[in-house]
Amino acid sequence: MATLKNRSRFPVSAPVAASGSALASPSTSAPVKQHAVNPIVLDAADGARIELFVLADDIIRVLVLPKGALQGPRTWSIAPGIEDVPLEGRDRRDMSGFAPVAFRFDSDAERAVVETARVRLTVALDGGFCSWEIARDGSWHHVMNDRKTQAYNFGWWDERVYHYVERQRGEMYVGLGERAGALDRANQSYEMRNIDAMGYSARTTDPLYKHIPFYVTWQPQTSMGFGLFYDTLADCRFDMGRELDNYHGHYRHFVAEHGDLDYYFIASADTPLHAVRRFTWLTGRPAWMPKWGLGYSGSTMSYTDAPDAQRRMGEFIARCREHDVLCDSFHLSSGYTSIGAKRYVFNWNREKFPDIEGFVQGYLREGVRLCANIKPCLLQDHPAFDEAAQADLLIGARDGEPAWVQFWDEVGAYLDFTNPATIAWWKARVKDSLLRYGIASTWNDNNEFEIWTPDAMAHGFGQPFAAREAKVLQTQLMMRASRDAQREHAPHKRPFLVSRSGGVGMHRYVQTWSGDNYTSWETLRYNLKMGLGLAMSGVSNSGHDIGGFSGPAPTPELLVRWVAFGIFLPRFSIHSWNDDGTVNEPWMYPEVTSQIAGLIKLRYRLIPYLYELLWQSHRSYEPVLRPMFAEFPNDPRCLIDGDDMMLGASLLVAPGVEQGQREREVLLPSGACWASYWSGEVFDGGQSVRLPAPFEQPVMLLREGCVIPLNIAEQHFAQSADERAFIALPVAGVGTAQGGCIEDDGETQAWREGAQGRWNVAIASDASTLRISVEREGQMPFAQHEVRLSVPASDTREAQCANGEVIGDSVADGWRHLTLRLA
C-alpha cells in the first residue's frame, strides 16, 4: 500500500548560519552556536508556511500556516515568567521574555534540523512532518513523530485546524485541565467547549467548564516525556487514541474549530513535573493570594435565596461560634441580587438585605470576609440593560441587535470584555456595588460565555471577530477586570477572587473550583483525579464543592469523608444546592459535627504548609497537588490510577472514597521511608500497608527527608492565633532532611518591598545524632524564640541544635517532641 504524501513542500527560506555540516550528537564537546535567525521560516511553493521558534533549550514552538498568514487573534496565554500580558493581547510573533538560545540549524534537500542542548527537531521538507528527540545521558531519544499520513490540514478538508501524531503503546497522557474520568487520558476523547454542566458526572461528563489545551505525554518504559500546548482560543477536541483508522496506524490528534496550528513542545526527561513547571512559567506567574483564602469558606444558595437572607446569614455566624468552627470567608450566592425569582448582577435586594453595610461589617468584625457572586450576562429586563446596549457594551449580532443567549430562566446578552468601555463599566460597578461596602473579593460565576451563533460579534479591541471563536477570552478578561477593580479599590492589598470557568493563564488571576458537581461517592473519587489533572495543567489553586453541590443531600458519612479530603486542597469551601432544600453545613448532622469541626481545625494546622506550597507555585511554578506517578516516575506501581495523591513533595494523602471504609490500603513508593502523621509509625517504602482510617484522622504519611511546617496555636472561631512548629521524618542513616515556610502579613502587598521572612529547618543525621538547624531570615511577622520540632518516637538519636539549645525532649502519641530555644 503506497503511503500518501502531503502536497506541500517546504524549502528553507530564512538565511542560515550553519555551513551545512552534519549536526553533532549531544555527547560532543563542540560548542553550540547561536543561529542567526529565530524564528526559522519554511515556505512552500503553494503559499503554506511553517515557522519554528526556539524559545529555550527545552521549548520549541511550531506555527503551521496553510495560507501563509495568521488566521487567529493575538494570544493572551503567553506570559513567560511575568504576571500578565497587554490587555489587548500579545502579538503571536513577540519574542519578549525569552532569553536568546544557543542552537544549531542544518538543512538539505530533504529535511531541516533544529537542535538545542535538550531538544532536536527534524522537519521533513516534503509535507512538513516533525520528529522530536530529547537528549539524555549523552544520546538522543525519539519521543514523538507526526503521523506520516496527513499530519496537518493544508486546506484540503475544511477550515478547521488539525494535528495528527503517532501514538506509542504504553504512553500516558495527563492534563487537559479538569476532565472527567481517569487521570490517564489515554484511549479517550475530550471536547473543550466551556459549558455550564450543573450536576455533572465526574466520571463521564464532557465537556466541562475549562479550556486548557495542554497535556503531558509520559513514556514509562523510558521515563521520558514532553508537554504539548496548543495556543488556541477556539473550541477544540482531543482524541487520545480512542479513534482508530486502518489507513493511518496508531495515532492521537487535536482539532480546533478556528485559528492556527500553533503549538509548543516542552521536553521533560526524568520527571513529568518539569513540563508542568515550564508550561506554568510559559503562561504566567501564579497569583500570590492572601493567606485567608486558605481558610474555610462557607457557602450555600439557600441563605441568599431566602426572603430573610440577612437573618439567615447571621445564623451562620452564630452556628460557627456555637460549634467552634473556624471560618475565614463566606461566598455570597447570587440570591442577594434577585428581583422576584431572577438574578440581576450588581443589584442588591434590599428586602433581603435591609442594612447592607451593617451586614458586611458584622461579618468583618467576626473575621469573616465576603466573596460576592457576579455574572457576566445582563437579562433583557435588567435595570441597566438599555444603558449597556446603547453604549455598545454587549456582544451584538451583525444586525445591530444584542446577541441573545439563554441564561438561567431568561434571555439576555453577555457583556463584551474585548471592549475597553465594557471593562471600565464593569470595574466601576464592582467597586460601587460591592467593594465600597467592604466586600473583600469577587466570585466570577456562570462565565462560560455560551455563544454558538456565527452572527455574534466581539469588539476585539477594535478588530471585530466572531464571538464564538474566542469565548474563553471573554472569561479571562472578565476575571482580569474584576481583579483590576479590586486592585484599584485597595492597591495595598492582594486581590482574592475565584472563577468557575477559565482557560490558560487563569492561574494569574484566580482561585478556581470544579463547578457544580453531583453528590455521590463516585464524584468524591473522581473529583480527586480532576484536581490532579488541573494541577498538572498549571492550575494549582483549586478545590471542589465539598459535600457535592447538586443532587441529594450527602449522608453523614459521605459529608465527613468529603471534608476529610477537602481540607488538603488549596480551596476549601462547603457549598450546596440540594434537591430537598437542605444545606451542606459543618453542623448538618449532629452525630458528625465534632469530627467535621476537628477536621477543619486540622486544616488550619496545615495552613503554613499549604501557604508554603502556594508560594512555591508562585515563585517556582511547582504544582501543589501531584499524582503519585509524577512524583515517583520510576516506581512502576505508582502508574496505577489509584485514589492517593501527594500534597507537595512531602505529604502523601490517602482519602477515604468508599462507603463503609474504615481502613485504607496505601501503596508506599519505593526509595524512601514513610511515617504516619497520627501514630508516628515508620514504614519502609516499596510495600502496601493497611492503615486505620477513622473519620477524624484521614490517612497522611510524611516522606523521609522532609520537614513540614504547622500552626500549633490553639484556635477558636473569630480568635486567630499562630505559633510555628515543625514535624519531620529525618533520614534514617546519613543524610539531611530539609523544609521550611514563608512568612508575611498574609494580606498586603508589602512582600513586594521585601517585608517577608522565612523559616529554614535542616536535620543532618548519622547513625547516632540529629544535628538540627533552625534559621529565620528576612522580616518575620511575629516573634518566636522557642519552636517545637517533632520526629517519630522510634528515632532515639541524640538531638543537638546548631543555633540554639534543646530545652525539652518528650514523647506523646508516637512522636518525640523536641523543644528548641533559638539563639
Domains in the chain (CATH in brackets) are 40-282 (2.60.40.1760), 291-373+422-447+473-620 (3.20.20.80)
Which whole number is the average pLDDT over 483-496? 98
- Among the residue ranges 25-34, 202-211, 469-478, 519-528, the one predicted with the least confidence is 25-34
pLDDT at 8: 67
pLDDT digits (tens, 9 = 90+) for 101-122: 999 999 998 999 999 999 999 9
Tens of pLDDT, residue by residue over 40-50, are 999 998 899 99
**Is the pLDDT assigned to residue 711 strictly greater than 50?**
yes
How far is the CA of 401 from the CAs of 241, 378, 448, 452, 465, in angstroms? 43, 14, 21, 16, 16
Which grid cell sits at 548? 457535592
Nine cell digits for residue 780: 518575620
pLDDT of 372? 98
What percent of the chain stands above pLDDT 70?
96
Confidence band of 596 (pLDDT split at 50, 70, 90): very high
Relative orientation angle of helices 471-489 and 420-433, to the nearest 10 degrees: 50
**pTM check: above 0.85:** yes
What is the structure's pLDDT at 31? 37
Inform me whether the pLDDT recorded for 23 exceeds 50. no
| HSE (side-chain half, CA atoms, 13 Å) at 714 | 0
Label residue 409 by pLDDT band (50, 70, 90): confident
pLDDT on residue 32: 41
**3-state secondary structure at position 610:** helix
pLDDT at 15 over 80: no
- Give the CA distances from residue 282 to residues 81, 172, 471, 501, 597, in Å, rounded to whole numbers and listed in that order: 6, 22, 22, 21, 40
Output the average pLDDT for the chain: 94
What pLDDT sits at residue 13? 54
Distance CA 539, CA 497 (A): 14
What is the mean pLDDT of the segment spanning 629-634?
96
pLDDT of residue 36: 60
Write the pLDDT tens digit of every residue in 84-94.
999 999 999 99
Residue 11 pLDDT > 80: no
Strands 441-444 and 410-414 turn out to be: unpaired
pLDDT tens digit sequence for 276-328? 999 999 999 999 999 999 999 999 999 999 999 999 999 999 999 999 999 99
pLDDT interval class at 10 (50, 70, 90)? confident
Q: How confident is the model at residue 22 (pLDDT cuts 50, 70, 90)?
A: very low
Q: Check residue 37 and give its pLDDT.
A: 81
Count other Cβ atoms within 10 Å, centred on residue 204.
10
Q: For residue 17, is pLDDT > 70? A: no
Q: What is the pLDDT of residue 683?
A: 98
Give pLDDT, residue 131.
Answer: 98
Who wins on pLDDT, 31 or 822? 822
Residue type, 817: H
